[in-house]
Structure 1
Amino acid sequence: MPNANKLLLGKNRIDITPDKDTILGGATISGKIRVDYIKDPLYANTIVVVREERKMAVITLDLLMITRKYVELIRHELHSRWGFDPDAVMIHATQNHKAPSLGHFKISEDYGGIPEELNWLRGGDERYHPYAVERIIASVEAALDAPEPVRIGYGGGVEGRLAFNRRMVMKDGSISMPNAVGPAAPNSRYVEGPMDPDLGVVAFQSEAAPISALLLHYTCHPVHQLGHFFISADWPGAWVNEMKSSHGEQCVSVVLNGACGNINPWDPYADKPQDDAGVMGNRLGVSANGVIEKIAFQDDAVLDWKIVHIDIPLRKVNEADLESARRYIADNPNPRWLTDVVLDDKWVYASGMLDLHEQYERNPLYRYEIQVLRIGDAALVGLPGEPFSEGGLAIKLGSPSPYTIIAHNTQFAGYIPTKEAFLRGGYETTTSNWSKFVPEALDLIVAASLETLKSVFK
């Protein structure tokens, strides 16, 4: 390894798998779902990149969500213990639906209408949160303990066979979501928008390993086998395992899932859509290794970062929906159990509507964070929530970086559809805690992201 190397890399992969009785937030709207078994473990994957006195951390979690509360807590700990600039710490939950959340996302902690014994209805399991935070911080500490000189290389490819736009326009103009059962309904017309076939790779090479660590990027909801209740890291975890098989146990891969708000892994036109996360991980591994073979490495890379905040207006809950929610809660002060594990969805949805109204009354503007990390020629763009793929593609097309990687879900913020999607409706546009911004939100985010990228890549 030449002495010219100016980059140091620390890396770690630490198990954050919960107990089997931890409640999974993404299985149903109101189900107290516990898992049948652990299919494969969940991890926090961490890399720390250091150049002279500057250092940044990129942490990905095999979890469903992370809320702003826990992002700020972890950043604060990394700043107080090791001097990280909080703006240089990116934390990304892959939105894995076979995992718990870190924080409450369905109903906020400020809403007082949830009985204490039903606190899990908010979307998180309080028993899991302290353990996850402790393990994430331990992962960063371990990465800092053994930094090594590295070279860096960049590459990109196209993989368009694994992810699909999930909003199917029907003959009457409405929206339906194809699933893993079979082909699109006969009264469907076309998928509403694009998917993002970009496969991104940032590779690090050390004296001990030709491929020491990887930043990997693809765009798709991790929702394989939704009807089965087990813990798994889904396709991001399967991809990580494929790269370990190719490059050795020492290789740590950090997978950044892109703007996948309207992207699922099920081909709507296949007789039986592929629903195996392992198959997807294997194919991504083959494609990524094809990219890695062509990468040229270099000794140095600029490190820079910037966070900006923009105010996005919340959607005001219309009076009819608000009155309906109030009336339902008044008539049903306590939710009914529909089965031994599922509560009344209408009660939960009404509570969420009242919660969103209270948020609007406190402040009709949402403070939305856009984070850009620069690692040489590569840009990492952290976006809270679930932007539609059109937004991620617009940022990539306008970016000054030839290797622009989007990481959605860096905090929970709900779906962020295109303006056009609101004209047709559908699940992602229904006013709720999981879809609460005005229709112009995605355009505002794209514009501010491009402005921030141009500032960092002057």
Structure 2
Amino acid sequence: MKTLRVGAATVDISPMTSQFLFGYPHVERYSTGIHDPLQSHAVFFSSGKPSTNESESATSRTVLFIANDVIRIDKSVAREARERIRSATGVQEQTIMITATHTHSAPNIVRYASNMDDPVVPPPDPKYVRFLTDSIVAAGIAAVENAVPASVGFAAARAEGVGSNRRSVDGPSDPEVPVVVARDENDRAIACMLVYSMHPTVLHEDSKLVSGDFPAFTRRYLCSSVFGREIPIAYHTGTAGNQSPRHMTRENTFAEAERLGNLLGRAVEKALKTVEYSSEFTIGSAQEFLDLPRKVFPDPAAAAERLARVRERFEKLAREGAPRQEIRTAETDVFGAEEVLTLANAAARGVLDEYYEQCLPAEVHAIRLGLHTYIGWPGELFVEYGLELKRRFPSAYGITLANGGLQGYVVTEAAAAEGGYEASNTLFDWRSGPLLVDAAVRVAESAAGG
């Protein structure tokens, strides 16, 4: 084991012009201002000098996490950023994990197949995509250059009341929040990293201000109430495909985003009270690429009939004054049925191949920090897959929307049979989930030197 060095950096990625805020369909949602800045947070760990060996994996001595306040990361953006960071620093591409927090109040940066028929959704702004890519690179390079001797502590918080399974409040969820804090030789915190399996969707389509949603308030709380100063905090979204604040929110406002963000912050604060720090631990990384089974779409006529049935149910619930959470779930099922119709028509026209090429092969990435392993998965995996990963490989934590996307959700067999919103908005068969978990276990073992 080597003496540890840690570096961190934050770069503002807020748009400088009005941008279409992506995440909700059918709404011309162009930003009118910035409520809180979007940021790129990079945290670098090194147990020695960067290696020049491009085949280095499990023996890696340097790793770099970069978390970004955008809805998702395009694979081409991640590829370019990794290459440029390697060229500037020597940190190898396969040891760099680039993620999206998944805020729905940030610019659109990916061409999404299921939205191709939505007339209000514009293509990504190439100027913003270029700005974002340059900013990710700048954050990564700065984190490497800022590295100092450090010690690191690990904690596991438990967040209750921030969100739940969004299909059913009693459904599977994962309140565990792994937290990493690094501090310098003067015991001052220099960086933090956490993973939480929850959609950051307190703010809805009526909000036209740029925001990181509740994770931004969590970072603000930790900096002011725990660390006593501004430090980079890399927030990653875990297996949140079927998790959201829907059943916990009192309203969809910034005040509510702050309340839930502070609730998560206080849970992290409590967990950090007993953390122990060490400067001696191993670092490792590994990755694997795999093809995934593609979804078979229905005939467009059948998809149109299903949309009519789903829309009728939503309208009936709205007329009868059902609970707002039930109405919202039914409304999102309408969105999903619309997207199935879009994808069914696209499949019939033979235009989906370019979208598959955009996201395949799927990368499964593992970074080992001491006794803890962080798995980077593309796409939005259901929480059941994160729980299964931890069952099979304890102290492994799933991070989604990493190093590119999968154009939608990775659902369970049961969800696919139910056919709700998430199962509708995907290009891949549900069997992709178990394959991604199997690959995660393999790369976790490789990163650990097993």
Decide: shared fold, TM above 0.5: yes
- Deviation by residue 1:110-157 (Cα, 9 ceiling, x = unmatched): x9x99xxx89534x2223111111111111222222211001111112
CA distance in 1, matches of 2:125, 2:91: 29
Query: Is the CA contact (8 Å cut-off) linking 2:85 and 2:137 kept in structure 1?
Result: yes
1:417 aligned to 411, 428, 432, which one? 411
**Post-superposition offset of 1:361:** 9.1
**Post-superposition offset of 1:324:** 7.2
1:58 aligned to 61, 65, 84, which one? 65
Query: Is the CA contact (8 Å cut-off) linking 1:65 and 1:105 kept in structure 2?
Result: no
Pairing 1:405–2:383 present: no
1:451 aligned to 425, 429, 442, which one? 442
Secondary structure of 1:44's counterpart equals strand
Q: 1:100 to 1:438 in 2, by over 3 A?
A: same
Q: Output the amino acid matched with 2:433.
A: L
1:393 aligned to 383, 387, 390, which one? 387
Q: 1:73 to 1:120 in 2, by over 3 A?
A: farther
**Post-superposition offset of 1:349:** 7.3
Query: Is the CA contact (8 Å cut-off) linking 1:415 and 1:428 kept in structure 2?
Result: yes
CA distance in 2, matches of 1:302, 1:234: 34
Query: Is the CA contact (8 Å cut-off) linking 1:55 and 1:84 kept in structure 2?
Result: yes
Structure 2 equivalent of residue 195 of structure 1: 173
**Post-superposition offset of 1:273:** 6.0
CA distance in 1, matches of 2:301, 2:405: 24
CA distance in 2, matches of 1:42, 1:147: 23
Query: Is the CA contact (8 Å cut-off) linking 2:104 and 2:203 kept in structure 1?
Result: no
- Deviation by residue 1:181-210 (Cα, 9 ceiling, x = unmatched): xxxxxxxxxx57311110111111212343
Structure 1 equivalent of residue 203 of structure 2: 225
1:46 aligned to 42, 47, 53, which one? 42
Query: Is the CA contact (8 Å cut-off) linking 1:395 and 1:449 kept in structure 2?
Result: yes
**Post-superposition offset of 1:87:** 0.9
2:421 aligned to 420, 423, 427, which one? 427
2:352 aligned to 350, 359, 376, which one? 359
- Aligned-residue Cα RMSD (Å) equals 2.9
Q: 1:349 to 1:449 in 2, by over 3 A?
A: closer
Q: Output the amino acid matched with 1:126.
A: P
Q: 1:274 to 1:129 in 2, by over 3 A?
A: closer
Q: Output the amino acid matched with 1:63.
A: V
User: After superposition, where does 1:17-416 map in structure 2 within 5 Å?
Assistant: 17-28=14-25, 30-53=26-49, 54-106=61-113, 121-122=122-123, 124-168=124-168, 191=169, 193-226=171-204, 227-245=206-224, 246-267=226-247, 272=250, 276-320=256-300, 352-355=343-346, 357-360=350-353, 366-400=360-394, 402=395, 404-410=396-402, 411-413=404-406, 414-416=408-410
Q: 1:429 to 1:380 in 2, by over 3 A?
A: same
- Deviation by residue 1:397-430 (Cα, 9 ceiling, x = unmatched): 2214x3x332111122110111011111111111
**Post-superposition offset of 1:455:** 2.5
Q: Output the amino acid matched with 1:92.
A: T
Give the % identical residues: 23
Query: Is the CA contact (8 Å cut-off) linking 1:238 and 1:282 kept in structure 2?
Result: yes
Gaps of 5+ in 2: 50-60, 306-334
Secondary structure of 1:104's counterpart equals coil
Query: Is the CA contact (8 Å cut-off) linking 1:20 and 1:34 kept in structure 2?
Result: no
Tell me the matched-pair count.
399
Query: Is the CA contact (8 Å cut-off) linking 2:300 and 2:341 kept in structure 1?
Result: no
Query: Is the CA contact (8 Å cut-off) linking 1:67 and 1:105 kept in structure 2?
Result: no
Query: Is the CA contact (8 Å cut-off) linking 2:153 and 2:182 kept in structure 1?
Result: yes
Q: Output the amino acid matched with 2:173.
A: M
CA distance in 1, matches of 2:252, 2:28: 28
Query: Is the CA contact (8 Å cut-off) linking 1:160 and 1:197 kept in structure 2?
Result: yes
Structure 1 equivalent of residue 9 of structure 2: 12
CA distance in 2, matches of 1:429, 1:350: 13
Greater mean alpha carbon deviation, residues 234-243 or residues 136-145: 136-145
Query: Is the CA contact (8 Å cut-off) linking 2:7 and 2:190 kept in structure 1?
Result: no
What's the TM-score, normalizing by structure 1? Answer: 0.80
Secondary structure of 1:13's counterpart equals strand
Q: Output the amino acid matched with 2:213.
A: D
**Post-superposition offset of 1:99:** 0.6
Q: 1:368 to 1:296 in 2, by over 3 A?
A: same
Secondary structure of 2:126's counterpart equals coil
CA distance in 2, matches of 1:206, 1:362: 45
Structure 1 equivalent of residue 313 of structure 2: none
Structure 2 equivalent of residue 177 of structure 1: none
Secondary structure of 1:91's counterpart equals strand
**Post-superposition offset of 1:18:** 0.6
Q: Output the amino acid matched with 1:194.
A: P
- Deviation by residue 1:321-360 (Cα, 9 ceiling, x = unmatched): 59979xxxxxxxxxxxxxxxxxxx9998766545454335
Q: 1:416 to 1:321 in 2, by over 3 A?
A: farther
Q: 1:51 to 1:362 in 2, by over 3 A?
A: closer
Q: 1:196 to 1:55 in 2, by over 3 A?
A: same
- Deviation by residue 1:262-317 (Cα, 9 ceiling, x = unmatched): 1011226x8x4686111112111111111111111112121110111121111122
Q: Output the amino acid matched with 2:77.
A: Y
Q: 1:295 to 1:311 in 2, by over 3 A?
A: same
Structure 2 equivalent of residue 338 of structure 1: none
Secondary structure of 2:386's counterpart equals helix
CA distance in 2, matches of 1:307, 1:447: 13
Q: Output the amino acid matched with 2:281.
A: A
